[in-house]
Structure 1
Amino acid sequence: MTDFERDTRLPDMPFHTIVEQMVAGIYVIQDDCFVYCNATWAAIVGYTVQEATGMSLAQMVPPDFLEVVRSRIRARLAQQPPSMHFITRGLHRDGSVRLVEVHGTRITYRGRPAVMGVGVDVTDRVRNEEELKRSREQLQALAAYTANKLEEQRLAMARDVHDVLGGMLTSIKMDATRIQRRAENPEMQALTQGLIALTQQTIDTVKQISEALRPSALDHLDLSVALANELRAFTRRSGVPHALDTGATTPRLPPRHTTAVYRIFQEGLTNVSRHSGASHVGVTLRVEDQQLVLELHDDGRGFDTGAPDGSALGLLSMRERAREIGGELRIDSAPGRGTRLRLRAPLL
């Protein structure tokens, strides 16, 4: 029995039995060598206990990481700090690199300072986490790309609908008006009058479609006007009254940021209409510490923000838009307590 075993054994349970049955690797490093390890630790790097015992750090650590490991061992031996918890890199017998989560502590082994550690192979876990992180980054990039392309298509369609289709309808109305002036037959007069009225209704519908695709206020006026127009349309459709407070200062944002804020607001208002059952909606738009702050709150039924539901994709879309412009979106809600959406975004 070694001095280490003698000092750490438990009553009625030999140290060797405890250590060898552990699913974590146990090792002792002294004088730049592994003077002790259990079977689990040896297996992490592809050796037997007999082979691993006595091996140097250089044989178990990749060359480009060796000095990092040695510096950490020196720090623990100097008790600065005496204990460390980190992920290190081990060199497997086959030449591959294994990632090992270790917790090392300064001990006394055979009367001299040493480092005892507990290690777990986390190679697969870390690589899975890295792959998940890459997948999330790719999904975020895809979401941003899709949103930008969708906005470009909306803008193009809005212009085509307004300029091309609207212009054609206006020409039809003008021609119908000239025909009406020249028509002497009362029946022809009535037909052209009906055609003119129908054409005007179609022109109005085209304008509504164009505004729905891309509000002209975003390009020609400012965000507060676009929000006010959207709220008025919301109240006409739903019958739910609203209050809008834009403060004394109208915030100025880059065009892309303005569009993102408007779309977040639009999606939030859509959720109110579809899910809340609210009797009143309030909106505030102001500037705080060089940031735009938009709040949308209702007195509806609310929801559990932690529970997945049909609106989850809408909430995800809003959060992604906020992230894309460097903003932060917070949604506070609870059943029976209404919902408050709060967006903060930089002005520049």
Structure 2
Amino acid sequence: MQEKQVQEFDSPNILQLFNGIVEQSVAGIYLLQDGVLQYVNNKFADLFDTKPDRMMGRSLVDLAPPDQKESLVAQYERRIEGTDPESHFIIRAALRKSGVRLIEIHGKRVEYRGQPAVVGVGIDVTDRERAHVELVRSRTQLQALMSEIETIQETERARIAMELHDDVGGILTALKFDVARLKRRIERLSGQSGQVVDTSDLLDLTLSVSELAQEAIDSARRISDELRPTALEHLGLFAAIRDYIDRFRIRFNIDCSLILPHSESAASSAVELDLFRIIQEALTNVARHADATKVRVSIAREGDRLDIAIEDNGRGLPVGDARNTGSGLIGIRERAHRVGAEFTIDNVETGGVRIELHAPWEFTH
């Protein structure tokens, strides 16, 4: 029965049908045996700007590009031995008519006339590979642009913070002193003999203005510190985080616990600033979107790595969207990438969101 099937397959009608299908294929098809191309269809020959009869009967060594000859032959031998059944190879062909083309070659080990051979397809992937290269280049350029934007933003934040502290803060402080002087003069006026002056309303007014001035001073300091955290520059990352969380707890009335390493250490100022901003942005997201009552920030050192975890008890991210790019996560992801950190975000079973960051940490002391 098997012999009859083979005979039927070898019949002229079957061979004619097979050849018709192969020659109409949109992919190049080849058969390689004993290191020689036994067969190629028209499409395969077209990939190399030639004709089938100019390729069939020629060895792989003769046809392979000089700089890829060794690796191409080695892959063919592994395929024949059955040790490399799934991989593919991209041939960089410099052609007279088409210029440089990238041909992706796939192959499978088969038995042909009782001997091992490789049959497979060739596909022109020039446009795909160029698009991939362009995508990678665009990604690199985008990262560089984002980094430049972040640098400009931090510089501008520092400038605004300094102006708030020096100019606005100075003006408000002077206003507070002037109100205090006015208050003292009114008190002296009301205490002079022979004078009947009702100064109670004026004293109340000075107290109110003084309180408003102090409130404005505190706001200017808070805004200035959020724009450019002075604690980060003078006390280091851990102290700056501790200070920020203390103010976060009071401002948003959210129970925020903090676990820090027992000993201080420092990295470059740029890395510390990025890590501080990541924690700042994550907590800002909690305050704005999570509807949480508790948040826990944990920082631990593991060798030359800093592990940061931020977990809240809020409503979590939408189901199926735990890795979305909204809610400030774009900036967090970009900063994490910039410092070489692994970043993950997921909903937790008990409710809320958990952010984890594993960053390389080069100690300076």
Output the TM-score relative to the length of structure 2.
0.78
Aligned to 2:147: 144
Aligned to 2:352: 338
Shift of 1:61: 4.9
Shift of 1:199: 3.0
Which deviations, in whole Å up to 9, do the C-alpha atoms of 1:104-149 show, x marking residues without a partner? 4566777887654421111111111111111111111111111122
Q: Give 1 or 2 for the bigger CA radius of gyration.
A: 2
Structure 1 residues 319 and 44: alpha-carbon distance in aligned structure 2, compared to 1, 3 A threshold: same
The partner residue of 1:164 within 163, 167, 170 is: 167
Preserved CA contact (<8 Å) 1:33 1:54: yes
The partner residue of 1:219 within 211, 216, 233 is: 233
Q: Determine helix, strand or coil for the equivalent of 1:318.
A: helix
What is the CA–CA distance in structure 1 between the aligned matches of 2:182 and 2:246, rounded to whole Å? 38
Aligned to 1:121: 124
What is the CA–CA distance in structure 2 between the aligned matches of 1:215 and 1:201, rounded to whole Å? 19
Shift of 1:252: 2.2
What is the CA–CA distance in structure 2 between the aligned matches of 1:208 and 1:341, rounded to whole Å? 26
The partner residue of 1:263 within 269, 277, 280 is: 277
Aligned to 2:101: 98
AA aligned opposite 1:22: S
Q: Which stretch of the first structure deviates more once superposed, 146-155 or 29-38?
A: 29-38
Shift of 1:204: 2.0
What is the CA–CA distance in structure 1 between the aligned matches of 2:216 and 2:120, rounded to whole Å? 78
Aligned to 2:303: 289
Aligned to 2:3: none
What is the CA–CA distance in structure 2 between the aligned matches of 1:333 and 1:292, rounded to whole Å? 22
What is the CA–CA distance in structure 1 between the aligned matches of 2:284 and 2:299, rounded to whole Å? 18
The partner residue of 2:177 within 174, 178, 195 is: 174
* RMSD after superposition: 3.5
Shift of 1:159: 1.6
Aligned to 1:208: 222
AA aligned opposite 2:352: G
AA aligned opposite 1:16: N
Structure 1 residues 13 and 251: alpha-carbon distance in aligned structure 2, compared to 1, 3 A threshold: farther
What is the CA–CA distance in structure 2 between the aligned matches of 1:336 and 1:96, rounded to whole Å? 60
Aligned to 1:302: 316
Aligned to 1:3: none
Preserved CA contact (<8 Å) 1:86 1:102: yes
What is the CA–CA distance in structure 1 between the aligned matches of 2:55 and 2:276, rounded to whole Å? 63
Preserved CA contact (<8 Å) 1:59 1:91: no
Shift of 1:100: 1.2
Q: Determine helix, strand or coil for the equivalent of 1:94.
A: coil
Which deviations, in whole Å up to 9, do the C-alpha atoms of 1:204-255 show, x marking residues without a partner? 2211211121222111223233223332333334332121111422342221
Preserved CA contact (<8 Å) 1:60 1:92: no
Shift of 1:45: 1.9
Structure 1 residues 106 and 281: alpha-carbon distance in aligned structure 2, compared to 1, 3 A threshold: closer
Preserved CA contact (<8 Å) 1:303 1:333: yes
AA aligned opposite 2:266: R
> Superposition pairs for residues 177-188 of structure 1, below 5 Å?
177-182=180-185, 184=189
Is 1:87 the equivalent of 2:90? yes
Shift of 1:192: 5.4
What is the CA–CA distance in structure 1 between the aligned matches of 2:104 and 2:281, rounded to whole Å? 44
Aligned to 1:46: 49
What is the CA–CA distance in structure 2 between the aligned matches of 1:300 and 1:332, rounded to whole Å? 13
Q: Determine helix, strand or coil for the equivalent of 1:312.
A: coil
Structure 1 residues 113 and 308: alpha-carbon distance in aligned structure 2, compared to 1, 3 A threshold: closer
What is the CA–CA distance in structure 2 between the aligned matches of 1:305 and 1:63, rounded to whole Å? 54
Structure 1 residues 97 and 28: alpha-carbon distance in aligned structure 2, compared to 1, 3 A threshold: farther
Output the TM-score relative to the length of structure 1.
0.82
The partner residue of 2:257 within 228, 232, 243 is: 243
What is the CA–CA distance in structure 1 between the aligned matches of 2:128 and 2:322, rounded to whole Å? 26
Which deviations, in whole Å up to 9, do the C-alpha atoms of 1:310-340 show, x marking residues without a partner? 8526212111111211222121226873211
Q: Which stretch of the first structure deviates more once superposed, 153-162 or 48-57?
A: 48-57
Preserved CA contact (<8 Å) 1:292 1:344: yes
Q: Which stretch of the first structure deviates more once superposed, 222-231 or 209-218?
A: 222-231
The partner residue of 1:319 within 333, 339, 350 is: 333
Structure 1 residues 149 and 13: alpha-carbon distance in aligned structure 2, compared to 1, 3 A threshold: farther
What is the CA–CA distance in structure 2 between the aligned matches of 1:132 and 1:31, rounded to whole Å? 40
Gaps of 5+ in 2: 1-5, 191-196
Shift of 1:154: 1.0
Q: Determine helix, strand or coil for the equivalent of 2:328.
A: helix
Structure 1 residues 308 and 94: alpha-carbon distance in aligned structure 2, compared to 1, 3 A threshold: farther
